[in-house]
Amino acid sequence: MKRKATLGVALVFLLAAGCGQTSLKQKIIPLNQAQATPDHPPIYNYSGWVIARAVLHNHTTYSDGCRTPEDLAQMARDQGIAVLGISDHREGQICLGKGLCYDVGGVDSPKVGYQKYYEHISRLAQDSQSPIILFGIETMPYIWVERRFGTVLGSGANNHFTSWGIYDPEVYEQMPARKQMELKVEKNPGAEPYAKWVDYLRDHGGLVFIAHPDIADDSWRLILHHKAPSPYYLIPELARLTGVALVPDGMAETAQPGGAWDEGQFQYLAGFRPEPLWGWGESDYHCDPPPLSHGITCFT
Ligand SMILES: [Zn+2]
Ligand SMILES: [Zn+2]
């Protein structure tokens, strides 16, 4: 039992440190009132195109961001952003087996819950003339213990997806996504559990994107080696995936000529994929000082 407990603490530590940033709660940083003037209005014409500036995939104090949803909306307003996508982490708790859970501060926890998160963000969206606020969630749908202690642990912890367009918290409550790792070593399940989860959300009217597709995890923490490939390996396997975040963390591999994004488009042309695969930019904003910067997407 002691060994299991040690393993559990180690796994939680590894998962919390996944994705290049901690999944643990941060302190709230109040918004500094001094703001720069936007370099563009939220919507403008450029060379015959109507450009609406959007910043997607942002975190708030509902997970590991440092800004309240209100302050995040104010930042977007100050910056001349037309569309703000808020997608806090789902994972409120990471569990090893049924009993050993650790609070990592996301939406799906007894303290918060989808309903409360949804009501808050939708109230904010209703009150906001500008920006338009999109409600979303970032999820790691499937995690497992792949190999033995001292080598690879907590696999799947950097396979992150953002989903949008679901307005019934019950749909998120019921989604087929793992909340816990089994107390045993498991084989890599391949794309199957991810495809099941993507199909479920698409069947309920959602849009699903792979987040930061080129970010792999290959790190040592004390004696523990956590090694997981970049999530883009899943792209060709997920026929109903809506799209992939290309900017900024998909530019090295996924968006290259012949990369996973191209592969997805060829699948569409060849009839293996029902829709073209969208590419978009994401911010993955957590705590930096304003402005919201990299990964700005322009909707046209
Ligand atoms: Zn992420
Ligand atoms: Zn994120």
Does residue 145 contact residue 184 with C-beta atoms inside 8 Å?
yes
Task: Specify the pTM.
Answer: 0.88
Q: What is the mean pLDDT of residues 10-35?
A: 58
User: Taking 60 as the threshold, does the pLDDT of residue 298 lie above it?
Assistant: no
For ligand 2, the distance from its centroid to the CA atom of residue 21, given in whole angstroms, is: 9
Q: pLDDT tens for residues 130-167?
A: 999 999 999 999 988 887 666 677 788 889 999 999 99
When pLDDT is averaged across residues 4-8 and rounded to a whole number, the result is 44
Please tell me the number of the ligand nearest to residue 161's CA: 1
Q: Residue 17: what pLDDT?
A: 40
Is residue 189 pLDDT above 50, yes or no? yes
pLDDT value for 1: 44
Ion ligand 1: residues, Cβ under 5 Å: 19, 160, 211
Mean pLDDT, residues 74-98 taken together: 90
Ligand nearest to the CA of 283: 2
- From residue 197, alpha-carbon distances to 3, 88, 93, 205, 265 in Å are 32, 18, 19, 13, 21
State residue 36's pLDDT score: 65
CA 284 to ligand 2 centroid distance, Å: 5
Residue 121 has pLDDT above 90, yes or no: yes
Token pair 């497992």 is at which residue? 144
Between the CA of 159 and the centroid of ligand 1 the distance, in Å, is: 8
Instruction: Write the Ramachandran bin of 31: left for phi over 0, alpha for psi from -120 to 50, otherwise beta.
Output: beta
Domain count, the chain: 1
Q: Is the pLDDT of residue 109 over 50?
A: yes
Q: How confident is the model at residue 174 (pLDDT cuts 50, 70, 90)?
A: very high
Instruction: Summarize pLDDT for 192-221 with one digit per residue, the tens.
Output: 999 999 999 999 999 999 999 999 888 776
The predicted pLDDT at position 149 comes to 62
Report, as an integer, the average pLDDT of 97-104. 78
Handedness of CA 262, 265, 269, 271 (dihedral sign): positive
Query: What's the CA-to-centroid distance between 7 and ligand 2, angstroms?
Result: 26
- Spatial contact of 185 and 148, defined as CB atoms under 8 Å apart: yes
The pLDDT, as a whole number, for residue 158 is: 87
> Has residue 35 got a pLDDT over 70?
no
Question: 3 vs 6, 10, 213, CA distance in Å?
Answer: 5, 10, 34
47 Cα: distance to centroid of ligand 1 (angstroms): 34
On whether the CB atoms of residues 158 and 228 are closer than 8 A, the answer is yes
pLDDT over threshold 70, residue 19? no
pLDDT at 285 over 70: yes
Residue 222: per-residue pLDDT: 62
User: Domain residues for 163?
Assistant: 2-299
Report CA 24 to chain centroid distance, whole Å. Answer: 15
SS (H, E, C) 120-188: HHHHHHHHCCCCEEEEEEEECCCCECCCCCCCCCCECCCCCEEEECCCCHHHHHCCCCCCEECCCCCCC
CA 49 to centroid of ligand 1, rounded, Å: 31
Between 300 and 86, whose confidence is greater? 86
User: String of b and e for 70-106 (b: at least 16 CB within 10 Å)?
Assistant: ebbbbbbbbbbbbbbbbbbbbbbbbbbeeebbbebbb
**CATH number for the domain harbouring residue 142:** 3.20.20.140
pLDDT of 105 above 90: no
> What value does the mean pLDDT take over residues 233-251?
95
Distance linking the first and last C-alpha atoms of the chain: 57
- Cα(250) to ligand 2 centroid in Å equals 14
